[in-house]
Chain A
Amino acid sequence: MSSPTTLFDKVWRAHEVHRSDSGQSLLWIDRHFVHEGSFHAFNKLGERQLPVARPDLTFGIADHYVPTQARDVELVADPKVRSMIEQLSHNTQQHGVTLFGLSDPRQGIVHVLGPEQGLTQPGMVMVCGDSHTATHGAFGSIAFGIGASEVAHVLATQTLWQSKPKVMRITVEGQLAEGITAKDIALTWIARLGADGARGYAIEYAGEAIRALSMEARLTLCNLSIEGGGRCGMIAPDQTTFDYLRSRPWSPKGEAFEQACAYWSTLYSDPDASFDLEVTLQASEIAPTVTWGVSPEEALPIDHAVPDPEQLSDPAKARQARDSLAYMGLTAGQKLTDITINRVFIGSCTNARIEDLRAAAAVLAGHKSRVPGMVSPGSTLVKTQAEAEGLDRIFIDAGLEWRHSGCSMCVGMNGDLVASGERCASTTNRNFKGRQGPGARTHLMSPAMVAAAAVTGHLADVRQLPVTSLTQLGVRS
């Protein structure tokens, strides 16, 4: 019998084309997603006059620069933004790559679209020139972000050189309390281990609380692996995974699906498999969590106060906290629930799937938002679904803008920006300085918590607000 093996090792081994004397592996790539930002890589390919080795395994998605007010590239005012979208169309067309373009009814953010279309499957190795590619690991695949040189390499060879990372397991024991989400699990472990706490590791999430998560919540959790420095995050596939994948547009069909399920069922860490690092969290200790600083590690339960640098014993931490407070315009010791906001954003590959929109709508229903804000669904299909359920009316009636799908205010590349000095409660993944625009101040939290902030005008504990049952609202979900 072979020795006990981790999920990660099983998938890695199945993809090793070659191992060099120095220990680097040349890995086979099952799926490669490219977006507008991949133009550098296509240019590199052009310089060498190389074709795309496997256009059938390469998929183009327009998301980072797409306008969210209209779906017409002609209406994009900034010629440079327009040219980003057009270059992607041109490059994919030239190389025979399937494109989910601006006006495609399936368009969406790459990490929402891949799973939704059934392109993301267990046991695969998947890459994209985007750090949140870790998202796809929710299906039990090894999925990670790469840079432009590596994108060019994958385009040219359908393989990638990688050194095998160490493997850590984050186990969440017990059951999450009502109102606690995958976003809270992620912010909790990142706050505990640090934004580089998982650097050099592939993460496997396990335990009762993880098994109980829906597919969409698993995607949120794996998405944030990179914010703790992880190379990738993965969850062993199970019935939840198989049920999600059955009858997705690009899933295997008929007999092939049954064969696939039989194989996917073997993808788990053997009981005695050893990990380089084990971390355990108790689900009962996880509270609704928000960030107060400029790194995802600067996160605290909502009933806490902003740290006082003078009280921190570690001088490096104190220095960082002082810098973060200055940028965020906060006072040491201030209660988190006293932080007033100027704007909200519900969107991004982290938290803009249908369950996220339902959770936010349940809090907003029947209320007005005290601040302006925007909702950008994770994909055009999510948007269509939300409209069929009447969620768009709830957001619009609350005074929020109902936009088209794209990366939008997560990164502001399309011009959807938070103004300098403004404070935004956001369902996104990065509270970095300037991430949502120069001088913008970002607080990360779950969709329901963003909705709670909208209703109250300040950071707020969603558990203390009335939440409307969506069935009461006549929403069919």
Chain B
Amino acid sequence: MKPMTVVTSLGVALPAANVDTDQLIPARFMKEPRSVGYGQFLLYDLRHDAQGEPKADFILHHPEAGKAEVMVSRRNFGAGSSREAAVYALVDDGFRCVVAPSFGDIFASNAVNNGLLPAVVTEEDAEQLLAALGSTPGAITVDLEALTVSVGAVSVPFTLSPVWRTKLLNGWDDIDMTRQHTDAIATFAHQYAEQFPWSAPFPPDAALIGKG
């Protein structure tokens, strides 16, 4: 994963609460391999009308929106389904940061695992940023060292767990980190199996298969 320090880019405002992961990527697109690029599915049903025509006035269809790397939205962003595809859709569309007053827990950890920063601001500050951006993409800076988001004269602090901050700053990957602990895991697994012998699955007798 690419390390991140400061993102200076364009930001887009998505002034809605509860933008859940079903909206970020509708389920029907999730059988596609990642190689097709998930950006085309981002917020698909919000940005198209019932006939499947793109809504010209939707922010992501603004001619400048393709360059945007930051999205600002309202509370409970990414709630719901654990589908990491919601993060893939944002990342494949070029986003590196989402700013909102709160995030679904699973979405936030999926985001960090893909180098997408979930920046938490207060409700008031989110409203300020949304107002400053308005209905067109606008210049925005997200500083992961200083933990600030700025649009023009509006500059507000954001929060992020220190663990996630370190991970994003360094572009670390969990599997690599964990492999340093291989011996500790093996020791634990051994002791655990002795202490809780019943926790190992007891495969059913063949006769029981098919009985509930």
Q: Is the CB of A412 within 8 A of B27?
A: yes
Binary contact readout A226-250 vs B (1 if CB under 8 angstroms, 0 otherwise): 1001010000000000000000011
**What's the minimum C-beta distance from A18 to chain B, rounded to whole angstroms?**
5
Determine the distance from Cα of A26 to Cα of B31 in the docked complex, in whole angstroms.
31
Report how far A123 CA is from B188 CA in the complex, Å. 16
Given contacts A20-B163, A150-B110, A199-B104, 13 further A-B contacts (CB under 8 A): A17-B188, A37-B30, A56-B201, A105-B210, A129-B84, A159-B178, A195-B76, A250-B202, A295-B76, A411-B81, A420-B50, A435-B22, A439-B45
B114: A residues at CB distance < 8 A: 149
**Counting chain B CB atoms within 10 Å of each CB, which of A131, A146, A323 scores highest?**
A131
- Pick from B82, B109, B162 the residue with the most CB of A within 10 Å: B82
Report the separation of the CA atoms of residues A105 and B202 in the bound assembly, to the nearest whole angstrom: 19
Which residue from chain B places its CB closest to the CB of A22 in the assembled complex? B163
18 pairs, CB–CB < 8 Å, chain A vs chain B = A26-B181, A28-B188, A80-B31, A105-B209, A131-B106, A144-B106, A145-B82, A145-B106, A148-B110, A153-B175, A156-B175, A250-B203, A250-B204, A413-B31, A420-B50, A432-B80, A433-B46, A434-B45
Which of B18, B31, B181, B211 touches A65 (beta carbons < 8 Å)? Answer: B31
Contact with A along B28-68 (1 / 0, CB 8 A): 10111010000000000110001000000000000000000
Asked if residues B178 and A161 are in contact (CB atoms below 8 Å), the reply is: yes
Chain B residues near A (Cβ < 8 Å): 16-18, 20, 22-23, 26-28, 30-32, 34, 45-46, 50, 74-76, 79-85, 87, 102, 104-106, 109-110, 113-114, 123, 161-163, 166, 174-175, 177-179, 181, 184-185, 188-189, 192, 196-204, 208-212
Chain A residues, Cβ within 8 Å of B198: 121, 252, 256-257, 259-260, 263
Chain A stretch 408-442: residues in CB contact (< 8 A) with chain B: 411-413, 420, 430, 432-435, 438-439
Query: In whole angstroms, how far apart are the Cα atoms of A192 and B178 in the complex?
Result: 40
* CB interface residues, A 258-300, toward B, < 8 Å: 259-260, 263, 294-295
Query: A413 and B30: CB pair below 8 A?
Result: yes
Chain B residues, CB < 8 A from A163: 161, 163
Compute how far the CA of A283 lies from the CA of B55 in the bound complex, rounded to whole angstroms. 47
Residue contact B18 to A295, C-beta cutoff 8 Å: yes
The answer to whether residues A131 and B80 also contact, given A381-B212, A432-B23 and a CB cut-off of 8 A, is yes
Is B209 a contact partner of A106 (Cβ separation < 8 A)? yes
B90 shortest CB reach to chain A, Å: 13
* Cα A260 to Cα B30 with chains together (Å): 40
What's the Cα separation between A124 and B185 when bound, in Å? 17
Name the residue on B nearest A83 (C-beta). B31
Mask, A378-389, CB within 8 Å of B = 1, is: 010110110000
**What 7 A-B pairs are tightest by C-beta distance, nearest first?**
A147-B110, A249-B204, A149-B113, A381-B212, A252-B198, A147-B84, A260-B198
Q: How far is the CB of A187 from chain B (nearest CB, A)?
A: 16
Which residues on B sit within 8 Å (CB–CB) of A123? 196, 199
Q: A149-B84, A149-B114, A196-B102 are in contact. Are A121 and B178 (CB under 8 A)?
A: no
Chain A residue numbers with a CB within 8 Å of B106 are 131, 144-147
A residues 117-151 near B (Cβ < 8 Å) are 117, 119, 121, 123-124, 129-131, 144-150
